Amino acid sequence: MMESIVPIAVWLVLAVTGLSIVAIAVFSLRSLAQGKVNPTTIVLTSVPIVLFLILGLVMDSWAEGAVMAFLISLVLTSLALLMSGLRGLFS
């Protein structure tokens, strides 16, 4: 019984995740068109997704690409926080 539910649950989670990503893209484009958001914010928010797509295609598996994208995003975020703190310290 449980063996037949697992694949269905996995596909449902993937479908909901995909719909969420599409909704985020649509609403961010709508906000951009209405002038409610800075374009730089959308570009910076999409960096991890672009990294994941590029690394997923280049590396041996999508799992390795996801882990590397996460680690690179973590390092970039840490550097951005460090630079922001240093800028605030000296200004």
Name the average pLDDT for the chain: 90
35 three-class SS: coil
Does residue 73 share a domain with residue 29? Answer: no
Q: Given this model, what pLDDT does residue 46 score?
A: 85
Dig out the tokens for 25 from the structure.
Answer: 């893209």
Does residue 47 share a domain with residue 15? Answer: no
Residue 16: pLDDT over 80: yes
Does residue 82 share a domain with residue 46? Answer: yes
Dig out the tokens for 61 from the structure.
Answer: 């598996």
Does residue 82 share a domain with residue 51? Answer: yes
Does residue 75 share a domain with residue 48? Answer: yes
- Helix H or strand E encompassing 19: helix 2-33
Does residue 49 share a domain with residue 33? Answer: no
Dig out the tokens for 27 from the structure.
Answer: 């609403």
Average pLDDT estimate for 8-29: 91
Does residue 44 share a domain with residue 61? Answer: yes
Does residue 29 share a domain with residue 48? Answer: no
Residue 52: pLDDT over 90: yes
Whether this model's pTM surpasses 0.75: no
Number of compact structural domains in the chain: 2
Residue 31 CA from chain centroid, whole number: 18
| Whether 50 contacts 25, CB under 8 Å | no
Residue 70 CA from chain centroid, whole number: 9
Q: How confident is the model at residue 75 (pLDDT cuts 50, 70, 90)?
A: very high
| Owning domain of residue 6 | 1-37
Per cent of the chain over pLDDT 70 is 100
